[in-house]
Amino acid sequence: MIIEVGHYALVLALATALVVSIVPVIGARRNDAAMMALAPVGSIVMFLLVLFSFSALTWAYVVSDFSLKNVWENSHSMMPAVYKFSGVWGNHEGSMMLWLLILVFFSALVAFFGRNLPDTLRANVLAAQAWITTAFTLFILLTSNPFLRLNPAPAEGQDLNPILQDPGLAVHPPLLYLGYVGFSVCFSFAVAALMEGRIDAAWARWVRPWTLAAWTFLTAGIAMGSYWAYYELGWGGWWFWDPVENASFMPWLAGTALLHSALVMEKREALKIWTVLLAIMTFSLSLLGTFLVRSGVLTSVHAFATDPTRGIFILAILMLFIGGAFALFAWRAPMLKAGGLFAPISREGSLVLNNLILTVATATILIGTLYPLVLETLTGEKISVGAPFFNMTFGLLMIPLLIAVPFGPMLAWKRGDLLGAMQRLYGAAGLALVAGLVLYYIENGGPVMAVFGLVIAFWGMFGALADLWYRANFGKLPVGVAWRRLTGLPRSAFGTALAHFGLGVTVLGIIMVTTYETETVVEMKQGMTVEAGGYSLVFDGMREAVGPNFTEERGHFTISQGGVVVADTWSSKRLYTARRMPTTEAGIVTFGFSQLYVSLGDPIAGGGMVVRIWWKPFILCIWGGSLIMMVGGFVSLSDRRLRVGAPRRKARPARLAMEAAE
Amino acid sequence: MIRKLLLAAMLALAPLPALAVNPDEVLDDPVLEERARNLSVNLRCMVCQNQSIDDSNAELARDLRVLVRERLQNGDTDEEVIDYVVSRYGEFVLLKPRFSVRTLLLWTAPAVLLLGGALVLVLIARGRLQARTPAPLTAEEQARLDELVGKR
């Protein structure tokens, strides 16, 4: 019964979305307050309905109601409770429900926090959100309905894919979707601004916190997914340039560009048209990602052709929204007035450079991802575009960007002093060079390019610190005064510094791992010792174990350094009983930022196992850096400027006047 | 990423998850083995989703790894090995496609976009600068100005 009510709630949500799609827009045109007021109420109702619907589905999972086809296909009564929860979105239908839930969650947030928005803008933004909601609710109801029953109900479910039975599934998709879908708000704001034909610094100020929030969640989601793949897939890779990864990385890159261009728009009223375009592109890439992942088009063009209903439906959504938004843009953008002027060497100029490189990088990944697909469709020829291509092109594009990052915050708005910025960065550059060389020496050399990479990484970190150093004016002012100045800096300054510092840390991790990683593949018998990363691993033998829904063979390893035992680990191979599916659970031991990664292979004749041992130096920096970036995002989000939010409507003219005076 | 995991799971169905290079495949000569590994990273496992033969545990990937090593032992250069593999499996096997008419757009896109973008920016900047410098006075305006100045 609960299921049917949940199903019905989803249908009601569709009806509500339709109303919110139309009525507030008419209200905004006629300046009818009552019609516009429908938008926030309707958005919150939509959220409650979808929340109920989602809860009903979750309920079915928790009580293992196998009369529901979706539950039967993806759950098992013996599964641990946490995976019964997270299993809700571990499949196509459920993950679309999560997508929808997060979408209406953002609409409700705009409705709730947007009380200080001008009425027409709010009505239009929420209507645009409702258009997206309508499309995706229809998609779920027509092609991916999780509420379908089975009759007779099976006694036992088919179990969740074992690889998904991991805490990663509980965290990764919600974070990723909070980011992905969060950009819908920026999209709706852009569309609403185009509909009104008016856009100003206040608009950028309203959009920026949403961009920042979405970006922060997406950063966390991607990093989390990368770590999950790293420890779960068993060969220690952390980024594969898989089309599905690219699908989440492209909105991240575009979103990063948006974050920076919105800054220019907020402070200087420049780059208006470009910011609007970026907002549209970022969410379009999110939609494209959804299409790529959900339609099955990536697995094979032919798989797509045999069951194209879902793919065609999302493709239609894609074309409708992207095409519609771009058409609106082409029509209305010329009406937007260009804003403040600036010299090429200036804060604005550096942010334009940032946008240029990030956009080209996004386009490169987009082209690389779609090229094989398009080529095969057009000519029937099959080519592959894989990691080596992306590493090369993306890597080359990132070098100038990484070099430029510390300069940006050092340049003044309007007209900057490059020489002055360089002088202030001498210290950071010197320290980076020393740190890079020291690390290179400690690691016993290696390719000369590695020094270059390491120095760039440290340059990013020290550059970020130098920014704070000079803002507080350490070195010129007495330490006490400078310290007070430092603590008095706006939080967004710390946000910027943290994010840029985190970027450097991530780059450091990437360079270190790719340069100094070692891999040892050996046949090990009980009692044998292998050296890796300066540690000795002794294989103590295998043991069998039984989990709630799997059996496993686990090998024990004792790790010692200089004759002293420092750690031990289990590495296992599991067999999930319901699906007869094997997985590997690598043994991972952390030393500082570095890790030893032990993975079991096949048993060998005469006892013993094939064992793969990787030494992954500084690998934790990759995700640690992302974590720092994420913290930077939250710190910046808590900045007074954004916390107080866009000023109250009545106070606005005064505020704007003040800004103009600044 | 989930999809990646799912696919990896599905592909791993047949054999137990043994990973990539096995000890029995490794060549005795470390230089040759190093070359083999470097080549393997760029060759696609034909039955996998976006995996190199170096990463994959599929039978076919193993065959290809062994094949690469055999060719290397027979004294082939890296290019000869690649050419041979491509002649057998087609361009699809290369994870980094060769530069050709068909991949022209793919390979030139980053540079073209970067230069094109920079060019547009320069043009916009110049356009703005020109807009800022006022147009010279026409003869009439000059005359009027002289008149005004002269009066004073």
Residue A553 has pLDDT above 80, yes or no: yes
Cβ within 8 Å, pair A242-B49: yes
Asked whether residue B98 is domain-assigned, the answer is no
Kindly list the distances between the CA atom of residue A58 and the CA atoms of A100, A181, A405, B2, in Å, as whole numbers in the listed order. 14, 21, 45, 19
Q: Which of A37-51, A137-151, B2-16 is predicted with the least confidence, judged by mean pLDDT?
A: B2-16
- Rounded to an integer, the average pLDDT of A422-450 is 90
Do B17 and A584 touch, CB atoms closer than 8 A?
yes
Residue in B1, B3, B97 closest to A383 by CB = B97
Contacts of A163 in chain B (CB under 8 A): 5-6, 8-9
Residue B6 has pLDDT above 50, yes or no: no
Cβ within 8 Å, pair B9-A245: no
Residue with tokens 């027979």: B74
Residue A420 has pLDDT above 70, yes or no: yes
Residue B81 has pLDDT above 60, yes or no: yes
Strands A594-603 and A587-591: antiparallel
Long-range CB contacts for residues A570-574, cutoff 8 Å, separation at least 24: A571/A598, A571/A599, A571/A600, A571/A611, A572/A545, A572/A600, A573/A600, A573/B16, A573/B17, A574/A162, A574/A547, A574/A550
- Rounded to an integer, the average pLDDT of A386-401 is 94
Asked whether residue B119 is domain-assigned, the answer is yes
Amino acid A630 reads: M
How far does A556 lie from chain B, in Å, by closest CA?
A: 18
Cβ within 8 Å, pair B113-A523: no
Residue A168 has pLDDT above 70, yes or no: yes
B33 and B89 together in one domain: yes
> What pLDDT sits at residue B151?
62
Cβ within 8 Å, pair B17-A583: yes
> What pLDDT sits at residue A132?
96
Nearest CA in chain B to A237: B55
Q: Which of A128-137, A195-204, A532-541, B62-71 is predicted with the least confidence, judged by mean pLDDT?
A: A195-204
> What pLDDT sits at residue B145?
83
Looking at the 3D structure of chain B, how many domains does it have? 2
Cβ within 8 Å, pair A383-B19: no
> What pLDDT sits at residue A71?
93
> What pLDDT sits at residue B20?
64
Q: What is the pLDDT of residues A649-662, one digit of tens each?
A: 444 444 443 333 33
Do A35 and A26 touch, CB atoms closer than 8 A?
yes
> What pLDDT sits at residue B16?
35
Residue in B8, B16, B91 closest to A602 by CB = B16
Cβ within 8 Å, pair A388-B50: no
> What pLDDT sits at residue B59?
83
> What pLDDT sits at residue A190?
94
- Residue A319 is classified by DSSP as I
How far does B75 lie from chain A, in Å, by closest CA?
A: 25
Q: Residue A360 is encoded by which pair of tokens?
A: 């080209």
Could you write out the DSSP letters of every residue in B25-60?
Answer: G--SSHHHHHHHHHHHHTBB-TTSSS-BTTT---HH
Mean pLDDT estimate for chain A? 89
Q: Which of A1-10, A358-367, A543-552 is predicted with the least confidence, judged by mean pLDDT?
A: A543-552
> What pLDDT sits at residue A655?
41
B65 and B117 together in one domain: no
Asked whether residue B99 is domain-assigned, the answer is no
Residue A472 has pLDDT above 60, yes or no: yes
Helix, strand, coil distribution of chain B in percent, nearest 5: 65, 5, 35
Tell me the pLDDT band of A272, cut-offs 50, 70 and 90. confident
Question: What residue numbers bound the domain in which B45 lies?
Answer: 2-93
Asked whether residue B62 is domain-assigned, the answer is yes
Looking at chain B, the whole-number percentage of residues with pLDDT higher than 70 is 80
- Which of A360, A398, A401 to mutate against chain B (most B CBs within 10 Å)? A360
Domain edge (last residue) among B55, B70, B93: B93
B16 and B84 together in one domain: yes
Q: What is the pLDDT of residues A347-366, one digit of tens each?
A: 888 999 999 999 999 999 99
Q: Which of A50-54, A519-523, A567-571 is predicted with the least confidence, judged by mean pLDDT?
A: A519-523
> What pLDDT sits at residue A659?
39
Cβ within 8 Å, pair B42-A245: no
Nearest CA in chain B to A293: B3
> What pLDDT sits at residue B127?
74
Q: Which of A35-39, A257-261, A366-370, B141-145 is predicted with the least confidence, judged by mean pLDDT?
A: B141-145
B108 and B89 together in one domain: no
Contacts of B95 in chain A (CB under 8 A): 384-389
Cβ within 8 Å, pair A90-B2: yes
* CATH code for the domain of B52: 1.10.8.640
Cβ within 8 Å, pair B5-A164: yes
* Domain residue ranges of chain A, discontinuous segments joined by +: 1-165, 405-516+623-629, 520-616
Cβ within 8 Å, pair B52-A396: no
Helix H or strand E encompassing A457: helix A448-472
Residue A227 has pLDDT above 80, yes or no: yes
B36 and B110 together in one domain: no
> What pLDDT sits at residue A40?
95
Q: Residue A45 is encoded by which pair of tokens?
A: 């109702």
B7 and B41 together in one domain: yes
Residue A220 has pLDDT above 50, yes or no: yes
> What pLDDT sits at residue B142?
83
B87 and B118 together in one domain: no
A341 vs B3, more confident: A341
> How many helices (H) and strands (E) would you count in chain B?
6, 0
| Cβ contacts of A272 within 8 Å, gap of 6 or more | A199, A265, A336, A337, A338, A339
How far does B140 lie from chain A, in Å, by closest CA?
A: 31
Amino acid A530 reads: V
B24 and B53 together in one domain: yes
How far does B116 lie from chain A, in Å, by closest CA?
A: 10
C-alpha radius of gyration, chain A, whole number: 27
Mean pLDDT estimate for chain B? 80
Dihedral angle of Cα A16, A18, A19, A23, to the nearest 10 degrees:
150
B117 and B48 together in one domain: no
- Rounded to an integer, the average pLDDT of A312-321 is 89
Cβ within 8 Å, pair A383-B17: no
Q: What is the pLDDT of residues B99-139, one digit of tens each?
A: 988 899 999 999 999 999 999 988 887 776 666 566 777 88
- Residue B136 is classified by DSSP as P
Amino acid B3 reads: R
- Rounded to an integer, the average pLDDT of A110-121 is 90
B58 and B23 together in one domain: yes
> What pLDDT sits at residue A258?
95
Cβ within 8 Å, pair B117-A360: yes
> What pLDDT sits at residue B13?
35
How far does B65 lie from chain A, in Å, by closest CA?
A: 15
B11 and B79 together in one domain: yes
- Residue A101 is classified by DSSP as H
DSSP-based three-state secondary structure for A603: strand
Residue A487 has pLDDT above 80, yes or no: yes
Q: What is the pLDDT of residues A42-94, one digit of tens each?
A: 999 999 999 999 999 999 999 999 999 999 988 988 888 889 988 999 888 99
Contacts of A602 in chain B (CB under 8 A): 16, 18, 22
- Rounded to an integer, the average pLDDT of A577-605 is 88
Tell me the pLDDT band of A34, cut-offs 50, 70 and 90. very high
Tell me the pLDDT band of A8, cut-offs 50, 70 and 90. very high
- Rounded to an integer, the average pLDDT of A320-346 is 85
> How many helices (H) and strands (E) would you count in chain A?
23, 9
